[in-house]
Structure 1
Amino acid sequence: MRYLIKPTLLLLLVTTATTLRAQQFGGNPPQIKWRQVNTPAARVIFPAGMDSAGIRIANIISQMNSRIQATIGGKQKQISIVLQNQTTQSNGYVGLAPFRSEFYLTPDQNNFELGSLRWTDQLAVHEFRHVQQFNNFDVGLSHALRVIFGEGGQAVGNELSIPNWFFEGDAVFNETYVTTQGRGRLPYFFNGYRALWAAGKNYSYMKLRNGSYRDYVPDHYPLGYMLVSYGREKYGDDFWKNVTHDAASLTKFYPMQSAIKKYSWKSFGEFRDSAFYHYKTEFNSDGHNGPHIQKFAFLNKKDNRHFIADQEYPAYVDDNTIIYNKSTYNHPPVFVINKDGVERTITGRNFSLDSYFDYHDGKIVYASYRPDLRWSYRDYEEITLVDVQTGQETRITKGTKYFSPSISADGKRIVAVRVTPDGKNELHILDMSGKVLTVIANSQNLFYTYPKFYGDKIIAAVRKADGTMSIAMIDPANGNTEYLLAFSIKPIAFPSVHQDKVYFSATEGKNDGLFALSLTDKKLYRLQNDTTKTNIGNYQPTVSAGKIAWVSFTAYGYQLHQANSSAMQWQAIEGNAIPGTLPDMGITALSKGNASDLLASVQNTTAPVSKYNKAFHLVNFHTLQPNFVDPNYTIALQGENVLNTLQTQLSFNYNSNEGYKEYGLGTVYGALFPYLSAGVDYIVDRKINTTTGNIYYDQLQYYAGIEIPLTLSKGRTSTGLAFGSNLVYSRNFFSGLYNNSRNNRELWYLDNYVSFGTHGRSARKNIYPSLGLNLSADYKTAINGIDANQFLGTGNVYLPGLFTNHSLVITGAYHQRDKYDNGGFSNDFPFARGYSAENLYQISKVSADYHFPIAYPDAGVANAAYLSRIRANIFYDYSYGYDPYVFSRKIDDTFRTAGAQITFDGQLWNFLPYSIAIRYSHLLDDNIFSSSNQHNRIEIVIPISLF
């Protein structure tokens, strides 16, 4: 047996992962007119009509910057912040390569998730902290990487030295430090860790960093906040400035851990345990507010169960029948109906931004997510109805942005929140066909969440611009609003109306509890029993004739609880206000310094607004990017402008197979409906192998093209279609005896292509979607009288396997070119594995791959390499090649392979995903293109990327 190692290494330098996920090239329609507010710290860029949002954000940044800068460092470089108002998503990011930020301006409906502060304010105080971080992490070796490789160099240096938990934990601390709220004061934010501690799950640091396919692991935000806040509390405001300066300088092998030890005199493990101990003690100190957790021990015996399911937004059909949204790691989300403990799936759930739905009289209503056909920054939330008996779905609105729809008691109307691109928030009442009946006036400039019908009135949890919340009763006829609770900064969510009472969840102390408000006498009650007292949060209450149901958070997912209404304790609360204050979780550093409620002190001064020129810094080179994938070794100067409409690249490539050198310049313009591309490549020392020796020549290519990328996704299916054409001019330059008109001919050809892909929703543990299809075709043909053409078509069909998370993938491909290879086109045919590939006249292939998981180790080594999954693939390839024209003998052969592959999935250095595969191929036919003709091959494939 012959062992052949073929490493494929995609390494070294690219932009950060968060940047690439967030940026959408060519995502805005060209008719948008852009305006700006230009300040020393930030250039805030926004669509015309969003002046108030742009000015507000600029004021917050300008007035906050100097007052919080000292805790991270004094360096400052202006950043461009683009406000995106076309999307329904609530998000924001700051990234390098290029150095820019984007704020997605639609607020979240869940007031516990991100808090109840005005969304533009929340984005400004959180995201600008990232700007300060990047400005001050440009030190030491990270700075040297920036000097050599540009902004992408610093991105890699910062990724290697500063863990993602610090970036987000420090930003969450900042939002908590400068406001009266912030996620650091919200119990909901800590639910994940509280659930793990209550279940006795003491996961390793590497598992907390890298996650799991089988267990629930909180993301890096709460981990980061606990560590950052503990550091500020114990070691002062300068602690993290000193730690991150040393870490970003990359002078130690484990830079962050070494710096923490230097300034805290504790090892990182001791520091982390002390931070956890602090928060365990905090949540253990309040008698009725959560599970009792002993210091460094657990009252509960460790539960070895893995994640089971999320059961969310229960809704009663009757006392014995309840409907809820169910999500597992093995299957996509579904609506289920549970009657007397027996579940039945109603139907799958469409792509959605959250799990919310409402039920009434045999109908489910919810908002399903749909992207725009072309513009990736524009998407929609469309109201969908589901018939519980048949599972049939009906989309009743199209191209709308509706949130949290709810059905009236008579089953004839729907109320929903609408957020407009100009930032307005409205309540719409629609009939069951989707026709708008009433638009409720919002003269108070409230933000509505989770509206419900109460007769002809509307009940909703509302929040003001300052983040304070109440329950409101709105009259649709005139917009008159009655506030049923005193406004407070404590979040309120999930109202549910039954008879003359509204049930809801609200923050009280260190836990989120259940409350009820009488709509007749306006009395407020706390709802409790033995379960609610020990639950980690109590959310999404719903009531039937004799029962009440709600959910709480556990280490195994959101768990559904039910109780007889008569068994609940109704504790009257005086004052018509949610009692208590938001806790600081024992972090007194939140009240130190000069930032006490800094947000409230921001003055809404008038800032000059001017036109933003779309051509400003259009060619914006930011990174020198090496990209080494054997046999091509490339280094490219990458550029992209702030609006993501023009990408440019200057490149040099060395091909080790032929030994040629390639120089290139390319650009893509994405601001129009089609992408427009153009470029030039000059290749030196291309090589042709002949019986008498090698022949060398140079090659010049110009190209210009057009592409139309379309997103056809809707419902539970993700679908994309892209097609285009490139016009290419190619000329060869031979020398010596081969310098003749035939060899040095000019070739004009069209490269036409189309690709199509569609697949259903996937769950976390699915290797591939249970059903899917990918098709692509490429046809190159000369247009200046030369017989030169080439066609390549490929396709993949994804089918379910024998068991959950198994997949069968059928692949087909067909290639044909002109008889004598006059075009010299590159060969991209996926030949049978293990064989040496040749560019034949005709080649076809069919293969079958059966993929299945083997194990989920959830283990790591030395904080450097983490293994989350081991999976296998058994495959069979059949290729047939035919070529009577070029080779010394006629080719008319089959090339068959049977084999298996083991793949190891995980992360390096807790941030760099990898999939390392060991492949064994047994060649069932002779490898006629290889002199060794070995039939057994082992290949090691190591794709590593910093993307």
Structure 2
Amino acid sequence: MTCKLRHIHFLIRNITLITLIFSYHSLNAQVFNSDQNPPSLKWSQINTENFQILYPTPFETEAQRMASVLENIISREAYSLNKKPRKISVILQNQGTTSNGFVQLGPRRSEFYTTPSQSFDYQDWLNSLAVHEMRHVVQFDKLTGKLNAPFFEKLALAVFGITLPPWFYEGDAVGTETALTHAGRGRIPEWALIMRTNTLSGKKFSYSKDFFNSYKDLTPGYYQLGFFMNTKLRRDFGTGITDSIMTRISKNPLRPYSFSNSVKKYTGLSTRQLHDSTISELGKLWYQQTEKTAPLDYPAINKRKSNTPEHYLLPAAIPGDKILALKQSKARTPAIVEIDSAGRERRVTDIGLQEVAWFSYSAGKLVWDESRFDPRFHQRSFNVINIFDMQTRRAKQLTHRTRMFAPTLSPDGKTIIAVDISYSNRISLKLMDAARGKEIRIYNSPENYMLQMPAFSPDGKTVVVVAVAKTGKALFELNLESGTFSPLFPFQLQEILRPVYAGRQILFKAHYNGIDNIYRFNPNDRQIYQLTSARFGAFNPSYDTISHKLILNTFSGRGYDIAALNYSDTSGQNISTIKNTFIDYAAPLYDQEGHSNVFDSIQHKTYPVKRYHELSNLFYFHSLVPVAEENQFFDDYNVGIEMQSDNKLNTLSFYSRYQYNNALRKSEYLTGFNYKRYFPIFSIDYINRPRLIYRRVNQAGKTVLSPVTWRENEIKAEVTFPFTLNRFNNNYSFGFKTGTSYTNRYGIENGMPSLLKTLEYPMHYQFYASRNNRRSSRDLAPRWGQNITLTYRNYPFENRVEGELFTLRSTFYFPGLASNHSFQAAFNYQHGDGNYVNTVDIPRVSGYSYLSPIGNTRNTLLLDYRLPLLYPDWEAGPLAFIKRIKGGVFADFENIGKGDAFSPRSYGAELRADMNLLRFYLPNFDVGGKVIFLNEKPRQNPIFEFMATYSF
């Protein structure tokens, strides 16, 4: 790298750092969940030496258990980083159906989403969350422990996110969860499936492509990449390498290239070299593993028409020699498709948002589960069951506001059984009528084991289901008549999924030989047999009762495929004769971390419980944040600093700011809050600021501009009623907001009669509504979408000022001529009079500042056609990784209906690229240029605009 290029790299990196710090209020709102729970929820707390545990009162049993767990594991979590973390709040969120967790600063807390998933590693879900998230707590304090509340938490969060790549801290946490337990994602072959397949298939992608992902190819993701790269560090350089790297960074976190320099200092490797050596070593190990397993090839039934990565999941045979599958693609949103014997496919029905891919077919019907938002309180969500009739081709939502997962149809299609999870994490199977969703019977899980993926027997009298305990997974069989659960084999450390009946035999996915394959359990001899020997893995078995074939998923570099093979009740190899060839890459970490399961020695105790009152915990001051605000009247910025408070339940956000108005060289003071506990959101803002206008006066027969200055107090208040919904393949939002303000002006110098000293309660009202299709990863916009906003402003309480303004903004999306193309039409209209007669409150045409005025703007019509051009995955050294190049053309119209010709005022084209800069995973940058032609006489030269936006 030349000296000049190093300087440019350093400059851009620091500009990015400054941008992130100045905009971290928006980053925090988008990266972490800032939603609310229903106001009726009552909260309690447990305080221990190291934790404050907040939880909904009905969740007390699990909260007490987690208090003991967290207290017992935190010292083991901190051992290899040599850092005891400070006390932190852990919030147990039980209202949602998403299985997740995070740690954040500003405010400092960790949140556990307590509903277990239908697919996770083979241990207790909350234990799995605890061992992963507590490692992040230690990481935060190790790197930024001196930057604390009440002033520096967001600075610490920004430094953490900017200094450490996500693959490093997430990979370290996955390595820790694997090393400290007998489970963990590092022990699951399917978790590394894409990375292993790419490596063995000769697709050795660059560090940047594996890290930043791709629109063109399947890449592993930074969790998987980070697990292997971190493990490589600790395998080769010992226990203390992670501690050494983070200690060096913490001493000077703003040192340019601090992370990569630290890795280089202690290992002699750049991050790119570390990636390449990791992949090289894994390739050799995985190749040796393949040689030992003697894999077979299973021809794909599905016929791929392009190189676009696509998954054909959960294949199931239906009459007519056809197969149903859930198709996921980078180019289209998920749908159930029908594939005939010639490989031709037909889209049957779209699928909405799912936590885990799932559907079930029987007797001409399909059922599947989908996530649903609570319209207002988004910490609460639901998992509902939908049903589709193949004959009438009509879909119906069968349940509402439920928490049911993995619904499965009985052989006659008349009943459905699904996993039900209560708000206190009580697990059961619920049997219901398939016509109306009416509950028939509930079967409580034995020992409250987590249950996954039930399936009916051919006669509909029994159900097989996966059970998850602290000691692993097992299969249980439920007798529907007696209601008794019987274990089929003991709990074991296997990722067992998707059990189905084949007669009285049971097929399922596991990894006894070290690679995911399909296995058969024989209830007569109580033995397990391996049926497949796939190169990369075999998954999602189903049994065709007509052809007596086993239908399953295999995997390739383009995604999950469908295969079929002959099946008999005597086929397969007994697992007692099979050698486990799993590449336990993290094995050296077990000794480094004590080589024992951290959950084996938990000492449980009962802690005192207190009520947690939201009103007495409204404020948590955590950060001073620099502010650079564009001055709306002058070509300059207001620069200042803001004190922020956000309480831990996300119900009150408060700020207080001082800023200096560079244009007027005077101080400004602002404060305000958002209160979000109840259905409406209340916002109040106060500002004290200087003002300046110029008036025309006659001096000695000449008209001159004379300055008028004053200060003013302004109080703004607004009430918002937001709604967000989702249903099948569509997202909906609508809402209403209204607000007013009061302004008092004082210290007026060189005043004029028309300048009011008070402006009392101007009103504004806004209604918005939208309906948009879900987008695939390649879509530039929704395929279909309708978005409308109506706004009305007036002065109902002010006799000295009159005027009103009505505006309509609308945007409509339509499919383009090819996949992922988008046509967008935005029509905007306004009508104002009185004090609003010159106000423009709608989007303008491109290049409007270069156009000659044609009177007041009444309406605009903005037409855009956008399309992806290339997916280059091109690396411009360390400066940028360009994932997609896209283009577009546009034509903008103004004041349609006025004049003789319907012609655009401006038109042109744009060329943009989606990229990651300087090896930052976030933000994502959209950079490009736009050429604008003005349609007026005399014709002017084209206008070139540079565009750069970022998103998180």
Q: TM-score, normalised by structure 2?
A: 0.89
Q: Give the equivalent residue in structure 2 for 1:500.
A: 504
Cα RMSD between the aligned structures?
Answer: 3.2
Q: Give the equivalent residue in structure 1 for 2:766.
A: 753
Q: Give the equivalent residue in structure 1 for 2:813.
A: 798
Closer/same/farther in 2, CA of residues 943 and 286 from structure 1, 3 Å limit: closer
Provide the C-alpha distance between the structure 1 equivalents of 2:31 and 2:254, rounded to a whole number of angstroms.
Answer: 31
Q: Give the equivalent residue in structure 2 for 1:156.
A: 158
Residue 877 of structure 1 and its aligned partner are, at CA, apart by 0.9
Residue 730 of structure 1 and its aligned partner are, at CA, apart by 2.1
Map Cα deviations across residues 387-413 of structure 1 (whole Å, 9 max, x no partner): 224431011111111111111122211
Aligned partner (choices 236, 260, 272) of residue 263 of structure 2: 260
Residue 893 of structure 1 and its aligned partner are, at CA, apart by 13
Letter in 2 for 1:774: N
Q: Give the equivalent residue in structure 1 for 2:877.
A: 862
Q: Give the equivalent residue in structure 2 for 1:299.
A: none
Provide the C-alpha distance between the structure 2 equivalents of 1:695 and 1:204, rounded to a whole number of angstroms.
Answer: 61
Letter in 2 for 1:516: R
Residue 549 of structure 1 and its aligned partner are, at CA, apart by 1.2
Letter in 1 for 2:715: Y
Matched, 1:36 2:45: yes
For 1:190, what is the secondary structure of its paired residue? helix
Closer/same/farther in 2, CA of residues 812 and 579 from structure 1, 3 Å limit: same
Residue 906 of structure 1 and its aligned partner are, at CA, apart by 1.1
Closer/same/farther in 2, CA of residues 846 and 18 from structure 1, 3 Å limit: closer
CA contact (8 A) 2:644 2:655 kept: yes
CA contact (8 A) 1:902 1:917 kept: yes
Q: Give the equivalent residue in structure 2 for 1:650.
A: 656
Q: Give the equivalent residue in structure 1 for 2:936.
A: 925
For 2:67, what is the secondary structure of its paired residue? helix
For 1:713, what is the secondary structure of its paired residue? strand
Segment drifting more, 564-573 vs 842-851: 564-573
Equivalenced residues, count? 905
Provide the C-alpha distance between the structure 2 equivalents of 1:615 and 1:64, rounded to a whole number of angstroms.
Answer: 32
Map Cα deviations across residues 41-68 of structure 1 (whole Å, 9 max, x no partner): 2211100011122122222221111233
Q: Give the equivalent residue in structure 2 for 1:3.
A: none
Matched, 1:524 2:537: no
Q: Give the equivalent residue in structure 2 for 1:819.
A: 834
Segment drifting more, 49-58 vs 798-807: 49-58
Matched, 1:849 2:853: no
CA contact (8 A) 1:26 1:671 kept: no
Q: Give the equivalent residue in structure 2 for 1:534.
A: 535
Provide the C-alpha distance between the structure 1 equivalents of 2:294 and 2:672, rounded to a whole number of angstroms.
Answer: 60
Residue 874 of structure 1 and its aligned partner are, at CA, apart by 0.8
Provide the C-alpha distance between the structure 1 equivalents of 2:519 and 2:165, rounded to a whole number of angstroms.
Answer: 39
Matched, 1:939 2:941: no
CA contact (8 A) 2:455 2:499 kept: yes
Residue 437 of structure 1 and its aligned partner are, at CA, apart by 0.4
CA contact (8 A) 1:27 1:644 kept: yes
For 2:789, what is the secondary structure of its paired residue? strand
Q: Give the equivalent residue in structure 1 for 2:192.
A: 190
Residue 882 of structure 1 and its aligned partner are, at CA, apart by 12
Q: Give the equivalent residue in structure 2 for 1:474.
A: 478
Aligned partner (choices 241, 244, 256) of residue 242 of structure 1: 244
For 2:122, what is the secondary structure of its paired residue? coil
For 1:415, what is the secondary structure of its paired residue? strand
Provide the C-alpha distance between the structure 2 equivalents of 1:517 and 1:333, rounded to a whole number of angstroms.
Answer: 32
Q: Give the equivalent residue in structure 2 for 1:692.
A: 704
Letter in 1 for 2:515: N
Q: Which runs of 5+ in 1 are unaligned?
A: 1-6, 294-302, 884-891, 928-932
Residue 712 of structure 1 and its aligned partner are, at CA, apart by 2.6
Provide the C-alpha distance between the structure 1 equivalents of 2:22 and 2:749, rounded to a whole number of angstroms.
Answer: 41
Closer/same/farther in 2, CA of residues 653 and 870 from structure 1, 3 Å limit: farther
> Which residues of 2 match residues 261-340 of structure 1 at below 5 A?
261-287=264-290, 306-318=307-319, 320-340=321-341
CA contact (8 A) 1:214 1:307 kept: yes
> Which residues of 2 match residues 774-789 of structure 1 at below 5 A?
774-784=787-797, 785=799, 786-789=801-804
Closer/same/farther in 2, CA of residues 272 and 304 from structure 1, 3 Å limit: farther
Matched, 1:714 2:718: no
Q: Give the equivalent residue in structure 1 for 2:404.
A: 402
Provide the C-alpha distance between the structure 2 equivalents of 1:795 and 1:944, rounded to a whole number of angstroms.
Answer: 24
Provide the C-alpha distance between the structure 2 equivalents of 1:451 and 1:751, rounded to a whole number of angstroms.
Answer: 54
Closer/same/farther in 2, CA of residues 275 and 259 from structure 1, 3 Å limit: same
Residue 745 of structure 1 and its aligned partner are, at CA, apart by 3.7
Q: Give the equivalent residue in structure 1 for 2:92.
A: 83
Closer/same/farther in 2, CA of residues 464 and 848 from structure 1, 3 Å limit: closer
Q: Give the equivalent residue in structure 2 for 1:872.
A: 887
Provide the C-alpha distance between the structure 2 equivalents of 1:839 and 1:479, rounded to a whole number of angstroms.
Answer: 79
Matched, 1:905 2:914: yes
Residue 492 of structure 1 and its aligned partner are, at CA, apart by 0.6
CA contact (8 A) 1:86 1:421 kept: yes
Q: Give the equivalent residue in structure 1 for 2:3.
A: none
Aligned partner (choices 136, 141, 153) of residue 130 of structure 1: 136
Residue 183 of structure 1 and its aligned partner are, at CA, apart by 1.0
Map Cα deviations across residues 811-851 of structure 1 (whole Å, 9 max, x no partner): 111223333449x9x75421111112999755211110111
Provide the C-alpha distance between the structure 1 equivalents of 2:27 and 2:466, rounded to a whole number of angstroms.
Answer: 32
For 1:598, what is the secondary structure of its paired residue? coil
Residue 26 of structure 1 and its aligned partner are, at CA, apart by 4.6
Aligned partner (choices 757, 761, 772) of residue 785 of structure 2: 772
CA contact (8 A) 1:427 1:440 kept: yes
> Which residues of 2 match residues 439-518 of structure 1 at below 5 A?
439-454=442-457, 455-518=459-522
Provide the C-alpha distance between the structure 1 equivalents of 2:761 and 2:101, rounded to a whole number of angstroms.
Answer: 45
Q: Give the equivalent residue in structure 1 for 2:823.
A: 808
Matched, 1:95 2:104: yes
For 2:357, what is the secondary structure of its paired residue? coil
Q: Give the equivalent residue in structure 2 for 1:683.
A: 689
Letter in 2 for 1:650: S
Closer/same/farther in 2, CA of residues 817 and 304 from structure 1, 3 Å limit: closer
Q: TM-score, normalised by structure 1?
A: 0.90
CA contact (8 A) 1:326 1:334 kept: yes
Residue 17 of structure 1 and its aligned partner are, at CA, apart by 8.6
Closer/same/farther in 2, CA of residues 120 and 567 from structure 1, 3 Å limit: closer
User: Higher relative contact order by CA 8 Å / sep ≥ 6: 1 or 2?
Assistant: 1
Residue identity (%): 25
CA contact (8 A) 2:914 2:925 kept: yes
Q: Give the equivalent residue in structure 2 for 1:68.
A: 77
Matched, 1:48 2:57: yes
Q: Which runs of 5+ in 2 are unaligned?
A: 1-14, 297-303, 632-636, 697-702
Aligned partner (choices 27, 30, 52) of residue 36 of structure 2: 27
Provide the C-alpha distance between the structure 2 equivalents of 1:193 and 1:311, rounded to a whole number of angstroms.
Answer: 19
Provide the C-alpha distance between the structure 2 equivalents of 1:660 and 1:391, rounded to a whole number of angstroms.
Answer: 67
Closer/same/farther in 2, CA of residues 795 and 710 from structure 1, 3 Å limit: same
Provide the C-alpha distance between the structure 2 equivalents of 1:266 and 1:370, rounded to a whole number of angstroms.
Answer: 47
CA contact (8 A) 2:315 2:540 kept: no
Q: Give the equivalent residue in structure 2 for 1:831.
A: 844
Provide the C-alpha distance between the structure 2 equivalents of 1:692 and 1:925, rounded to a whole number of angstroms.
Answer: 33
Q: Give the equivalent residue in structure 2 for 1:213.
A: 215
Map Cα deviations across residues 716-760 of structure 1 (whole Å, 9 max, x no partner): 110111211112112344734425474324332112112222101
Closer/same/farther in 2, CA of residues 881 and 783 from structure 1, 3 Å limit: farther
For 2:78, what is the secondary structure of its paired residue? helix
Residue 153 of structure 1 and its aligned partner are, at CA, apart by 1.2
Q: Give the equivalent residue in structure 2 for 1:384.
A: 386
Residue 226 of structure 1 and its aligned partner are, at CA, apart by 0.6
Provide the C-alpha distance between the structure 1 equivalents of 2:169 and 2:590, rounded to a whole number of angstroms.
Answer: 18
Residue 460 of structure 1 and its aligned partner are, at CA, apart by 3.1
